[in-house]
Amino acid sequence: AVMKRAYIPAKVMRRCRVTNEMLAAPYTSKELRAAILILVDRAEKHYQLARSGIATIPRMRRRPVIVAYHLYRGILESIELSD
C-alpha cells in the first residue's frame, strides 16, 4: 500500500468492500481480513493440487520443490494466524 500497489484482486476488494485507505491503514480492518481469508482459501486449493503433483516429479528433482512447497506453505500459515 505504501508503494501504491495492491495485490488483492479488484473483484475481491469490491466483494469485501476494501478501500485503498484500508490498505494504507496501520491496522487490519475486518473487511481487509475477509479479503485475505478469501485469498488464503484460494491458495489452500492450489497447495492441495501442488502437493498431489509433487509425486509426478522425478525423484532426483523433487527435493527443491518439496522445500519450496513447505517454505511457502509456512508463509501462508503465518498469514492465516496473523491478525
Q: For 25-58, what is the HEC assignment?
A: CCCCCHHHHHHHHHHHHHHHHHHHHHHHHHCCCC
Query: Is the CB of residue 24 less than 8 Å from the CB of residue 1?
Result: yes
pTM for this prediction:
0.76
Per-residue confidence of the chain (83 residues) as pLDDT tens digits? 456 677 899 999 999 999 989 988 888 899 999 999 999 999 999 999 988 899 999 999 999 999 999 999 999 888 888 76
Q: Whose grid coordinates read 509426478?
A: 56
